[in-house]
Structure 1
């Protein structure tokens, strides 16, 4: 009863039977994206996946784990990872061999065919047309194997393979930075790496190859297509510095004597190089009383350092350690003539320690350290100290080196203050002078900076007499009046010169009515009310009326002109839109696009002249910025110029509301109700006119275009055409979108007096 074997057809996942269209000489079963499929190759180089032909130029193929390797008629060997690839993607990859990177494709000898792939290795055995067998290491298989080793922390195998097959060693760190962990797999297992490599030369080789570049994103893109490219966990820290530090700490923990040269390499490789620390380690080796048998000698360490760093640079750094034996050791290894450096070193040896170190630091241009050593050399060297401070502008550092009670501190402050005055930083200079007790200079500097309160404090510290203080206050009051600071000038005149009459006149000049009234009543000088105060109030009322009338006239003129300009622009756009030829559909697009172009080109003449402006001096450029929108009739941006000037009119009237409110109160107080009522009525009319005009000037369309500009980075051809058809292109493209936003009229200030209504 033995059952007869039945031959079943191979079926796909959807149950349909697979049949190759042509007989295949080589077949194989593999998984593509997790689905089992059958591969077939005919003797005419046609390659099939199930019954789909994916290529017609394949000479041989082999499958190995998740990889498919093929040789082609174009004498290349390609490798594909089948884990995350579709049949269509495979077909596309095989058809465009030229587009592949070097990891998946390599050239082979003409007529080569794949015989086998060595299991658990990276070797591919090829047979040449002559019959001989050759082994190649396909880059894709090599990298896949290295990645597996690194995932299993088998650093020795990965390193040896990378070194032998010339794979960049940065991959050791760049591979697999895990987002869930604080650092990469490599950084967490640095000691494992060092113990496995177990060779100073190999560790040094790793250090010298380190670069900031992430090689998984450039040279070795992942073949499997998995997203290994998680963000780096130390964005604020450079990769090279991070690896050097972590490796150095690990080597110092394992065996600092054995890994001495690698530790030196870690210091030198950093950016910037830590040469002083490296030299200090060489110096410590030389000073070591009980030399370890395994340890590297100082001579050997220095020789190695000179291999890594330029000898002249190292000579300067060795000089900075103040160790002359180390300097001579380095100098002997350089091309320097002993006649050059020995006399210099002998001169230094004869000096007192601090002065010697100052001389070395000055020679190496380390001025902060030089000042520190020179400050310890005693008062006889202070003039030299001060000259160095002035030459190198090291005032702040110098002040830290002396107590604030010393004469040296005072002298440095004096020099620092003079330096700040040269820079026209008067107030800061004054603070430095005042802090050091140099009150006369502080007084002048405070006066120049306009700090009159501080200047009076300095005058008090200097013990000024009443007369001297009075003349100082008068001179400062004069300067304050020039700066339109009448209130502050009045305080000086009243309190320090007792000239309250002059103070009242200044307050009236500055229209500070209430403060002027306070002083008049404080000193009982009611006669000033008739002689000065009332005439000043009436004069102020007249000038405010003239100002409001001029603003109203200008506003109406500009508003009517804006209406005319907008109508002209609208007509121009309509005439462009109507300019279409009948029965010619091909010209529809042309007419629409040309009208958009014309709308923008209307200003071409202006934009060309503006481009010439950019080449001028900055002064002329600022002038050109001010004149960018001309009010001249017919100028390209006349509507923008009118919007700008109308906005200025509104803001100017808005600004005087507070002043007029105070003036109205004074007019009512002294019975000038008629004048007060006239002023209030005029201001009310002007504000009402402006409030009702704002929606007409800054139309809703105009405000909308400031929020959604017609032309801009987010515009498309369709959006521009739609805007044009809605006549939004009438609004030109402006460089100041704030001009399209209406000025705000404040409702909070209750400026009107109810008793005048």
Structure 2
């Protein structure tokens, strides 16, 4: 749904003689220069051809760069039939109708006049047509003798064949009669009906110039020739080698025009209809079609031109990208070049190019060979260079006035579609807006930025239409023309903008040779204000909102104010498509021709993407699509504004969604939350992106339109929780309004379900559910019963019990709706859970109501209910609670059942051990039962080996013996002896208990406590001293010996123990030193080997890993499974290998670990083992230091020499350890 807009225009005048006329032009793609052939027939027999060089910026030398004098062909409208630049040969080749083929070298600078063409060949019969292949390696000539010649770039003949032949071609089709008329059954009509119809008369059009034409396919594999053969026009298709492939089917009235689509699909020509001459197509008089043929010569569609009066089709030509077909029409009042495009199998007339001087004729019409939408036309002495670009004419009103209207140019009719009301794929539309004006398409369209109006730029006038689009039902629109202003200035207009009552036109003034801006100054459209700009034919107006100064973008991207020509912003490059953001930070969005999307403010230039295919600015978002087939949504008020104000900020990840391959934005309708996309094949797709939906929903919520917001979320699958989270305080205030607007029971149920499944806090969810439930109960309990039940169920945790209580209330007050309510709550809650909750309410009638409306089998629950009904109330409730797993409540009901259930209660607590604390609280007032429970609890704790807690339980139950056993097991000896003494234990028993406890403490290495028990309760000083010596408590041992008047123990026990310990420490230090030296030496050897032979070092040890693989076993391993020198460091299973390897058993893993800890010499783990061993020695040293500190004091007194020896040994080992830590190895 795009239109062709004029991007730039330029004109160059060739300073040739008054008798000369431009006949051909050629492009030098390497330099950007153009060569223009100007011919002048002298005396009717000789032609002088001047070649003028035009630079890339339009500069022309004062003299021609080359001249050729050659024989002229008689009665020829044009002498030069081909002019081409051969890039590989660096020559300029010219072919003349008189038969001359000439070349001239491409000089870097044609400084002087007189460069002559070199004639490289002559064809005596003349040359009627010539065409180089797209690759410039084959030249096809059609001679006056009806011969087809193929030549190389060095002008050697490749092939020669007759143009007129009766052969169809190598690919002649075979008709076996299937589906033909002669093979059909004709009933009573008989065999006469099967006879073939008389052949249609095929002749020439009176407009045919009788000259042959050549057109190559874009890939240079085939070319077509259109020539007159036996009084009719025939198109033949040849291969690159010059072999005839196909001949076209007879087409009455087929004309001389010929253009093969570069993409290779179709061959275009023209066909005339009527009866004014024999052999024309059967049809309306004056009808003229552009027809298409396939490579096999068969017809493939057509479209009808919309011309009236006397005219003639001169030529057809395709743009380089096969997007646009030009139709060159000769008229008596002046030529015109029409630009046609196709979409959805419909041909649109998009643009018309007229000569700058009315009544003038074109001499050539040619598309640029590389730039797809650049058209070059020439008159007698001027070159007109026009560049086009695709653009979508769409309305941009703000919400809620947005209509999403898109206008498509199709000749003098505008196809209008308001997408807010309908989605109509082209070529259909919502309504048609006829413009009149001799069928000429408008130059440009512009919608008002804030109103439902449209400006139409014609060749010499501007029209403004009030569209009056109806959003609701009825007539789509009632357009009225409110202004029709004629442009007095003779300018080449190309753009119009409409903002409020301001109409602005941009064009090129031929006299000023500058862009000019015309602004309408009077309401009647009679006065225009003219402003001359600095650019020359390639500037662009920037659409601004009403009230903002009009802006203009220059050729370098500078955006200036038209009023004072002051630079406001600056785009990095010229961007044909732009959009203006007025506030809060004025900015311009622009997309370059290479697909780079810029956002520019006064201080910041952002590159949003480099692969943009289309974009549009809506009320709240900048939306753009990319070649990665994604649509991106940039919030204007938040992200884009903050980025433009903070230039150093990194671009965030904007929200995006996938779109179909090749999709482009047609328009955005914010009120409908719709983004309209067009696919490459032309069909439309309307999507509702999440950002647009959320923005519209929030706008509705801000306006308290809860119904519209709810329906939008429901339709587009947005979490309904968003309604409550947008403004929580406002929503809680508006809950009565929310219920009133939403109203529908199903909708309220859906909303409550969404709240229950949301991620809000439990308190917040329950608050909303309770508030809505209260409001529903106040409005109509009977109508909203399902919603009230939903509000109970979706709470966290679910308040199903309150919902069941509501059923009981309904059973009494509204029995007619209770059945539906039960069915609904069964739908909400699992029936088994519901059955259990009802059972837990101890109301069997409610249980039966739930069960009867479920799918439960009565045989499953009726016996159980009957059994329960016969029990005493408290025991009945115990059974129910126990059945439901509510053990605490079940125990409470057992207590209420009295002494008869005491034994059952004890067993129940014993089975459910977590009930012990609860049971003790329940029977706290009954001291006898509490004591019994405490004793049972103590026994339970003894089994769990919680001896300390068990002792306390036994004490509370006054079970002293059990308490003593528990304390002894807990080694709480202080409490134990205190309790034993309090209980009156005899000294012998205390001694026996003390000896047992002392042994246990000693086994736990609690030597000091063991010695204390032996002294206090066993009164065994000798054993106490021995125990202290086991724990190296030499000081305490000496103190105890002297305290208890046993000095002999110091000499007999303490001194030998100290000397023995010193001897052991010396041996340990010697052993540790030897181990340290060996391991450090080995570690140094490994480091040296690693530095000297790294390859050997990394490879060693693989024999151990491979269970003794030797050299003779190498061939057993394949090249893909053999390890490298780094295998041992990468042998751990990875994602790719762990699934295919054999999993090791626990025994295997233990064996591997033992091997690793063993530190076998030469193994992979040796270095790690050495480091670990040294660290362990350092840790062991700390214990030795503490032990030596306790020994030295006594050794100085008893064996001073041994003390010094021990000190020297310890210092020596410490030095060695310190040397390992500080040495740089």
Q: Do the structures match in fold with TM over 0.5?
A: yes
Which of 558, 561, 564 is 2:1085 aligned to? 564
Report how far residue 322 of structure 1 moved.
Answer: 0.9
Contact kept, 8 Å, 1:190 with 1:247, in 2: the verdict is no
Pair 71,643 (structure 1): closer, same or farther in 2 beyond 3 Å: closer
* Distance in 2, Cα, partners of 1:524 & 1:512: 19
Q: CA deviation at 1:476?
A: 1.6
Q: How many angstroms does 1:155 deviate by?
A: 0.6
Matched with 1:246 is 768
Give the Cα–Cα distance (whole angstroms) in 1 for the partners of residues 1220 and 674 of structure 2.
85
Q: Which residue of 2 aligns with 1:168?
A: 718
How far is the alpha carbon of 1:516 from its aligned partner? 1.3
* Residue 580 of structure 2 corresponds to residue 31 of structure 1: yes
SS in structure 1 of the partner of residue 885 of structure 2: coil
Would the alpha carbon gap of residues 540 and 197 (structure 1) be closer, same or farther in structure 2, given more than 3 Å must change? same
Q: Given the alignment of the two structures, is residue 205 of structure 1 paired with residue 725 of structure 2, yes or no?
A: no
The answer for the alignment partner of 1:312 in structure 2 is: 832
In structure 2, the partner of 1:541 is 1062
2:882 counterpart of 1:332: no
Residue equivalent to 2:890: 370
Taking the aligned partners of 1:348 and 1:677, their CA distance within structure 2 comes to 89
Q: CA RMSD in A?
A: 5.1
The 1:524/1:39 distance shift into structure 2, 3 A limit, reads closer
Shift of 1:470: 0.6
Which consecutive unaligned segments of at least 5 residues does structure 1 have?
A: 21-26, 41-45, 87-99, 178-182, 215-233, 578-596, 702-757
Q: Equivalent residue of 1:334, what SS? A: coil
1:653 matched to 2:1181: yes
User: Which secondary structure does the structure 1 equivalent of 2:580 belong to?
Assistant: strand
Which residue pairs with 2:266 in the alignment? none
Partner of 1:504: 1025
Question: Once the two structures are superposed, what CA deviation does each residue of 1:214-238 show, in whole Å capped at 9, x if it has no partner?
Answer: 8xxxxxxxxxxxxxxxxxxx5xx36
Mapped to 2, the partners of 1:535 and 1:521 lie a distance apart of 17
Q: How does 1:560-709 map to 2 (within 5 A)?
A: 560-573=1081-1094, 600-603=1126-1129, 615-617=1144-1146, 625=1153, 628-669=1156-1197, 671-696=1198-1223, 699=1224
Cα distance in 1 for partners of 2:630, 2:1095 equals 66
Match of 2:1005 in 1: 484
Alignment of structure 1 residues 222-237 onto 2, 5 Å: 237=761
1:212-611 aligned at under 5 Å gives the runs: 212=757, 237=761, 242-252=764-774, 255-256=777-778, 258=781, 259-270=784-795, 272-286=797-811, 291=813, 298-338=818-858, 340-394=860-914, 395-403=916-924, 406-573=927-1094, 600-603=1126-1129
Higher helix share: 1
Q: Is the 8 A contact 2:632 2:655 kept in 1?
A: no
Q: Would the alpha carbon gap of residues 48 and 103 (structure 1) be closer, same or farther in structure 2, given more than 3 Å must change?
A: closer
**CA distances 1:415-434 after superposition (whole Å, capped 9, x unpaired):** 33333443444444334334
Equivalent residues in 2 for 1:82-101 (5 A)? 83=636
Determine helix, strand or coil for the equivalent of 1:398: helix
Q: Deviations over 1:395-417 (max 9, x none)?
A: 23323322187233333333333
Query: What is the TM-score of this pair, normalised by structure 2?
Result: 0.43
The 1:126/1:549 distance shift into structure 2, 3 A limit, reads closer
Is 1:6 the counterpart of 2:535 in the alignment? Answer: no
- Matching residue of 1:732: none
- Decide which of 132, 154, 176 is 2:705's aligned counterpart: 154
Shift of 1:70: 11
Q: State the Cα deviation string for residues 286-329 of structure 1 (Å, max 9, x = none).
A: 56xxx5x8x99555533321232233321111000111221222
Distance apart, 1:107 and its partner CA: 11
| Kept after mapping to 1: 8 A contact 2:706/2:741 | yes
Relative to structure 1, is the Cα distance of residues 550 and 613 closer, same or farther in structure 2, using a 3 angstrom cutoff?
farther
Using a 3 Å threshold, how does the CA distance of structure 1 residues 440 and 616 change in structure 2: closer, same or farther? Answer: farther
Give the corresponding residue for 1:222: none
Instruction: For residue 197 of structure 1, report the CA deviation from its aligned partner.
Output: 1.9
Contact 2:1090 2:1097 in 1 (8 A): no
Aligned mates of 1:539, 1:688 — CA distance in 2: 25
Partner-residue secondary structure (3-state), 1:632 = coil
Q: Is the 8 A contact 1:439 1:461 kept in 2?
A: no
SS in 2 for 1:6: strand
Q: 1:684 to 1:39 in 2, by over 3 A?
A: closer
**Cα-to-partner distance string for 1:593-634 (whole Å, 9 max, x where unaligned):** xxxx977545456999x99998433x8756755653432211
Aligned pairs, number: 611
Instruction: Decide whether aligned partners of structure 1 residues 366 and 566 sit closer, same or farther in structure 2, where only a CA change above 3 A counts.
Output: same
Once the two structures are superposed, residues 257-294 of structure 1 have per-residue CA deviations (whole angstroms, 9 ceiling, x without a partner) of 6354323202222455332232233335556xxx5x8x
- 1-structure distance, mates of 2:630, 2:1096: 67
In the aligned structure 1, how far is the partner of 2:674 from the partner of 2:954?
80
Q: Distance in 2 between matches of 1:642 and 1:48?
A: 63
TM-score w.r.t. length of structure 1:
0.67
Separation (CA, whole Å) in 1 of partners of 2:1049 and 2:1031: 16
Structure 1 residues 538 and 307 mapped into 2: Cα distance closer, same or farther (>3 Å)? closer
Are the structure 2 counterparts of residues 532 and 310 from structure 1 closer, same or farther at C-alpha, using a change threshold of 3 Å? closer
Quote the Cα distance in structure 2 between the aligned partners of 1:468 and 1:601: 69
Instruction: Determine if the alignment matches structure 1 residue 196 to structure 2 residue 738.
Output: no
Whichever of the two has the greater Rg, that structure is 2
Q: Distance in 2 between matches of 1:643 and 1:38?
A: 65
Q: CA–CA distance in 1 between the matches of 2:957 and 2:863? A: 43
For the 8 Å contact 1:194–1:251, the answer to whether it is kept is no
- Shift of the alpha carbon at 1:639? 1.9
Compared CA separation, residues 445 and 81, structure 1 to 2 (3 A): closer
**1:356/1:521 CA distance change after superposition, 3 Å:** same
Pick which of 480-489 and 138-147 moved more: 138-147
